[in-house]
């Protein structure tokens, strides 16, 4: 023990590993931008962000010069407005350089103007647009989303942007998300004012995404034409060792995967993506990363950027990354849980029970609004997660069902039912829960409510987790649907309060009228379907069914009144979604036909010929021969179905794909998968599931 007179030890300087020392080094966030420019320029920029009105030309040019010089210091030779067309999680980029011409001297110079920083133009008719842009009316613009920070990737400064037509109509995923966020802000502030909050000036949507994916060896990926063409295996027996023993979940990563994820995480940290967690998922070769939450528009950008980093790095390291919702049949698919919450600019989390009556009432009021949103607009939430890929996943193997319900936990559900019956609105969440383990383990402070992994929209103590989003989706559209449902319900409640109705009475009636959306049971059980039918909940079994609801009278009114979509925009988006669904299945059917006709059937028939020549006879050989004949027949049926694909009407194409093409593909696959287990492995033309999932370590 040192004596009291011993001198104090000198403070040690904190030494950060390079990975931590470089965080945020390639993102131009507000903190960095504020250091680059004069205060008056930064203030002008903030005013532009808040109002949407352009900066003065001189100020904009000064801002652009500072941004360019910062980017050049990071090795950039040019810039690109980075946007998200309506085509899934694939960003658009138009690579431009910092080159300009001094027309007085005809010399090349380095420059970036304010006009170039804030916007650029391109062709809007070549992207999916649902009829919003024709070839002879093609102009479209990318405009900097100043709420999402520019970042450096490679030698390019990327400027996150919205993408709209010359007429101002949304051609992208981000614009509806931004509009829906404004709607939540406007209606959320109205409710806060009725609840006595006079200080808050903004309600913002925050999101933390969880990205699941598979990693496999790139050579084996390239040897599977179905993976290359469609992102999923259209054939394949379940692996010899799948997820039956739960040995993969949160287990130690293989050295190869660990090196890959460590490097990916470091690159993301440099660009300001706060990856906080990485682990092995339930299925073999499946993994997950997740960041700390941030504003929804920035979260949408960082998710797409993270997916791109994972893809690029996988290529460099001889791996392939699969985001498809169901790349392998019979084992877990890829989800993208979105942890969604609402906060105020004064620091309040609107989905956290409070320390006083005011905060308690606020919490219950906003939960009541969400409860109504799920009950009245479950069709929109289902539509938000509707893709051909996600239809394979929903309702099985840790994915929530297609029926959208709200899970609050036993205690909070009991409290809401008590409110509906006339009880006090406040009072929930005063107790704390601790779990006693045994010394030397300290008591564990636990959430008041248990988890429900089968719930599509559970409460997690301080936010709601939208678990139904697919791994290969752009999160902007699902989040826009959540925001739309929430904003409309907030508006409904506030309209009644504006008309003079008591605040507590509105909260109570909202809970009473929408209890049918609360479900705390097993989402995989038949109980849910009985519950949904009894309560009149939306049960949209397939994506085409969900898409049709977008243009219902209820939803057209919601979108137009809240300013999220115009009538023309939502009809166009419906067409885009229908076409994407039909096209995806058309490509899958075409790919499967090619594989069956040119790879599987020749091998199967060659194997059968060898069996005949062997002179042996057995039940096994007879079964193989029958299966070959069955596969020939099913391939013919698939070919006929494929040739009958309607092309004129998007709704007809999607319906035909769902009802006819999928069934024909499933039947052909069933026969082919049985043959895979019987045909001479040396002849089989593709890597098997076992090889794909286990031979990349």
Q: Please, what are the domains in the chain?
A: 18-172 (3.10.20.70), 174-209+338-541 (no CATH), 211-334 (3.30.590.10), 579-694 (1.20.120.1560)
| Backbone CA torsion sign across 289, 291, 293, 295 | negative
Tell me phi and psi for residue 542, to 5 degrees: -135, 165
Structure-block tokens of residue 358: 């005011």
User: What three-state secondary structure class fits 325?
Assistant: coil
Q: What is the pLDDT of residue 3?
A: 46
* Block residue for tokens 């409290």: 415
Q: What is the pLDDT of residue 398?
A: 63
Mean pLDDT over residues 520-527, rounded?
Answer: 91
pLDDT in tens, 29-55: 999 999 999 999 999 999 999 999 999
If you average pLDDT over every residue of the chain, what do you get? 95
CB 226 within 8 A of CB 591: yes
Compare 242 and 549 and report the one with higher pLDDT: 549
CA–CA dist 404, 117 (Å, integer): 42
Mean pLDDT over residues 233-260, rounded?
Answer: 93
Structure-block tokens of residue 13: 């300087």
Mean pLDDT over residues 194-206, rounded?
Answer: 97
Q: What is the pLDDT of residue 695?
A: 86
Alpha-carbon separation of residue 688 from 229, 238, 265, 515 (angstroms): 17, 9, 30, 48
CA–CA dist 352, 405 (Å, integer): 20
pLDDT in tens, 339-391: 999 999 999 999 999 889 999 999 999 999 999 999 999 999 999 999 999 99
Whether the per-residue pLDDT at 13 is higher than 80: the answer is: no
Q: How confident is the model at residue 397 (pLDDT cuts 50, 70, 90)?
A: low
Burial of 504 (0-12, 13-18, 19+ CB in 10 A): middle
Whether the per-residue pLDDT at 396 is higher than 80: the answer is: no
Mean pLDDT over residues 640-668, rounded?
Answer: 96
DSSP state of 122: E
CA–CA dist 225, 472 (Å, integer): 19
Which residues, listed in sequence order, are joined to residue 213 by a DSSP beta bridge? 287
CA–CA dist 287, 264 (Å, integer): 13
Whether the per-residue pLDDT at 5 is higher than 60: the answer is: no
Whether the per-residue pLDDT at 2 is higher than 60: the answer is: no
Tell me phi and psi for residue 620, to 5 degrees: -60, -50
């Amino acid at each position: 023990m040192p004596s009291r007179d011993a001198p104090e030890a000198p403070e040690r300087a904190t030494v950060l590993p390079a990975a931590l020392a470089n965080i945020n080094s390639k993102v131009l966030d507000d903190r960095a931008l504020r250091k680059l420019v004069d205060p008056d320029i930064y203030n002008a920029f903030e005013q532009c962000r808040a109002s949407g009105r352009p900066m003065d030309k001189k100020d904009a040019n000064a801002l652009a010069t500072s941004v360019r010089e910062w980017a050049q210091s990071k090795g950039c030779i040019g810039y690109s407005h980075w946007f998200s067309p309506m085509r899934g999680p694939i960003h658009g980029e138009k690579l431009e350089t910092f080159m300009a011409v001094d027309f007085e001297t005809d010399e090349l110079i380095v420059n970036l103007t304010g006009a170039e920083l804030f916007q650029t133009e391109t062709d809007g008719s070549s992207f999916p647009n649902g009829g919003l842009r024709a070839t002879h009316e093609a102009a479209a613009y990318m405009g900097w989303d100043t709420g999402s920070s520019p970042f450096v990737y490679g030698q390019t400064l990327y400027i996150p942007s919205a993408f709209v037509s010359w007429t101002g109509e949304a051609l992208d995923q981000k614009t509806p998300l931004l509009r829906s966020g404004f709607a939540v802000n406007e209606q959320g502030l109205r409710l806060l004012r009725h609840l006595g909050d006079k200080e808050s000036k903004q309600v913002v949507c925050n999101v933390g995404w969880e990205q699941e994916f598979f990693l496999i060896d790139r050579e084996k990926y390239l040897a599977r034409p179905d993976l290359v063409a469609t992102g999923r295996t259209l054939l394949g027996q379940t692996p010899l060792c799948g997820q039956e023993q739960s040995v993969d979940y949160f287990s130690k990563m293989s050295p190869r995967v660990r090196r890959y994820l460590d490097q990916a995480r470091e690159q993301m940290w440099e660009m300001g993506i706060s990856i906080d967690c990485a682990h092995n998922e339930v299925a073999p070769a499946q993994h997950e990363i997740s960041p700390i939450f941030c504003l929804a528009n920035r979260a949408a950008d960082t998710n797409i950027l993270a997916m791109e980093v994972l893809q690029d790095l996988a290529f460099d390291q001889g791996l392939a990354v699969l985001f498809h919702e169901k790349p392998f049949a019979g084992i877990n698919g890829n989800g993208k849980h979105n942890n969604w919450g609402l906060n105020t600019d004064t620091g309040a989390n609107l989905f956290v029970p409070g320390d006083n009556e005011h905060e308690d009432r606020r919490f219950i009021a906003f939960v009541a609004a969400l409860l109504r949103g799920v009950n009245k607009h479950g069709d929109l939430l289902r539509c938000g997660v509707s893709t051909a890929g996600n239809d394979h996943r929903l309702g099985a193997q840790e994915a929530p069902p297609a029926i959208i319900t709200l899970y609050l936990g036993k205690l909070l559900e009991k409290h809401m039912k008590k409110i509906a019956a006339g009880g006090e609105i406040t009072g929930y969440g005063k107790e704390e829960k601790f779990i006693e383990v045994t010394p030397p383990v300290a008591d564990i402070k636990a959430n008041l409510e248990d988890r429900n992994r089968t719930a599509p929209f559970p409460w997690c103590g301080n936010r709601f987790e939208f678990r139904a989003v697919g791994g290969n989706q752009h999160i902007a559209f699902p989040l826009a649907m959540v925001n739309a449902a929430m904003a409309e319900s907030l508006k409904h409640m506030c309209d009644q309060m504006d008309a003079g109705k008591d605040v507590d009475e509105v909260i109570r009636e909202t809970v009473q009228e929408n209890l049918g959306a609360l479900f705390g049971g097993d989402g995989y059980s038949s109980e849910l379907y009985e519950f949904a039918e009894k309560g009149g909940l939306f049960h949209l079994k397939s994506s085409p069914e969900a898409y049709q609801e977008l243009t219902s009278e209820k939803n057209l009114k919601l979108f137009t009144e809240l300013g999220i979509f115009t009538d023309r925009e939502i009809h166009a988006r419906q067409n885009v979604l229908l076409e994407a669904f039909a096209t995806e299945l058309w490509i899958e059917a075409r790919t499967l036909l090619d594989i069956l006709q040119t790879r599987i059937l020749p091998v199967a028939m060659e194997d059968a010929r060898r069996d005949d020549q062997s002179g042996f006879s057995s039940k096994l050989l007879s079964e193989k021969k029958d299966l070959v004949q069955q596969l020939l027949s099913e391939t013919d049926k698939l070919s006929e179905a494929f040739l009958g694909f309607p092309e004129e009407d998007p709704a007809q194409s999607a319906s035909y794909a769902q009802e006819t093409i999928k069934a024909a593909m499933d039947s052909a696959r069933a026969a082919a998968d049985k043959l895979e287990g019987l045909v001479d492995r040396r002849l089989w033309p593709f890597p098997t599931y076992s090889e794909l999932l286990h031979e990349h370590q």
